[in-house]
Amino acid sequence: MIIVPTISEMIHHIKRCPPEFLAPPLLRGRGEIHTESLVNDIFRMLSGNPAAPKRIELSTEKRSKAELSLIQICCWALSHPFFRQIDSGWLNDVFWSQLAAIAALVKPELWVTDEERSEELARMILKCCGYVPAGETPEEALDRFDSVNTVKRMKVIEETRAANERAQAIRRQMAEQRAREAANVYGRE
């Protein structure tokens, strides 16, 4: 029987990420971690075949540093015992490719320091492998993922950017008007 972790357990696991996984990825001769090797090691561990040939091509030179850092953090997240119980077929190039969009929106260290970002990462991985966190219904899990989804939030902020800028313009006008009024008091005396 597969025991799916609760979301709190997954968050706790992600937040315990060792500093080695947070070290700068090796990119164009700079950095410490060879991300592609790490990914393939994790794949070998999850597939239970330590001697399997390299299976996942990351093309690291086409990826950003932030994306490679997120991939490394994902490798740590996947070291949770739960992922050894399930089939690793989902862990293919498609998964590793869809991290680019989100990586561009969040500073890498926030994935392991910010509670909400850790939750987002945990929910995203569980959703990708097709499982619902223990104690939640699929609807609840989906709603909660929507709530913490950075891509979605940034889309809303972008969409409402004009309205916010209008509000800030009003704020600025009001401050300027107040400054003018203060300067004019002498004139009215």
Per CB under 8 A, residues contacting other proteins are 27-28, 64-67, 103-108, 114-116, 140, 143-144, 146-148, 152-154, 156-158, 160-161, 163-164, 167-168, 170-179, 182-183, 185-186, 189
- Select 23 or 167, whichever has its Cβ closest to other proteins: 167
Minimum Å gap between C-beta 153 and other proteins is 5
Minimum Å gap between C-beta 62 and other proteins is 8
- Select 47 or 64, whichever has its Cβ closest to other proteins: 64
Minimum Å gap between C-beta 155 and other proteins is 8
State how far the Cα of 12 lies from the Cα of 75, in Å rounded to an integer: 15
Minimum Å gap between C-beta 186 and other proteins is 5
Instruction: At 86, list the tokens.
Output: 């399930």
- Select 54 or 178, whichever has its Cβ closest to other proteins: 178
State how far the Cα of 2 lies from the Cα of 133, in Å rounded to an integer: 12
- Select 93 or 146, whichever has its Cβ closest to other proteins: 146
Eight-state DSSP code of residue 78: T
- Which residue in this structure is represented by tokens 């891509």? 151
**Residue type at 45?**
M
Give the C-alpha distances (Å, rounded to integers) separating 9 from 3, 91, 116, 156.
12, 21, 14, 29
List Cβ neighbours of 63 (8 Å cut-off, separation of 6 or more).
71, 100
